[in-house]
Amino acid sequence: MGYRSINKNKGYPTVQTDPQGRFRFESVKLGEYVLTVEADGYAPQHRHIKVGLESKSQDFCLKSGRKISNRVVDEKGKPVAGACVVLNRWHCHTDPQRYYHWSAEAPVSEQVTLQFYKRYSGDYDTLKTTLPFSQIERQPITLKNR
């Protein structure tokens, strides 16, 4: 689906399902990971998994959803690259064009809790707010400069 900024060049493994919906990662190092499953028209799911010598298979059942997209900018309207966006419990970052993309599980709540911040930077304040879902895409999210 491509709604999150996963960069294969940085070593994040990605796979696509076969026609029966099965997937398999090859040559994954032992350790703990966050496995994210995404598909057009569905809300993504993520799960913390531990890859060991005897790893278990993982089954997912995606629910229908709605795509949300917007930009994060500073007070001068300049786009903020790499801003962290937390919507309810879903976490993503702005992409190279400074947009975040997310899918909300249907039915969508009237109000959503949002948090925006620029990680590893003291240049911006953190914004935490609750908004009507209908307003999320109407105007860019503005982070205040410190």
Structural domain total, the chain: 2
41 and 75 assigned to the same domain: no
Q: How large a percentage of the chain has pLDDT more than 90? A: 5
Spatial distance between the Cα atoms of 118 and 102, rounded to a whole number of angstroms: 18
Spatial distance between the Cα atoms of 96 and 72, rounded to a whole number of angstroms: 12
| 127 and 115 Cβ atoms separated by less than 8 Å | yes
Domain membership of residue 44 (yes or no) is yes
69 and 37 assigned to the same domain: no
* Radius of gyration for the alpha carbons in the chain, expressed in angstroms and rounded: 17
Domain membership of residue 115 (yes or no) is yes
- Phi, psi torsion values for 132, nearest 5 degrees: -65, 135
Considering only 1-5, 28-32, 35-39, 108-112, which range has the smallest mean pLDDT? 1-5
- Phi, psi torsion values for 107, nearest 5 degrees: -70, 145
70 and 133 assigned to the same domain: yes
Its domain, for residue 16, covers 8-51
Spatial distance between the Cα atoms of 134 and 70, rounded to a whole number of angstroms: 12
Domain membership of residue 3 (yes or no) is no
87 and 43 assigned to the same domain: no
Spatial distance between the Cα atoms of 45 and 22, rounded to a whole number of angstroms: 15
Look at residue 144 and give its three-state secondary structure.
Answer: coil
80 and 125 assigned to the same domain: yes
Question: pLDDT for 82-137, tens place per residue?
Answer: 888 887 667 778 887 788 877 777 777 788 788 888 876 778 888 888 888 778 88
Of 141 and 96, the structure prediction assigns the larger pLDDT to 141
Looking at residue 87, which CATH number applies to its domain?
2.60.40.1120
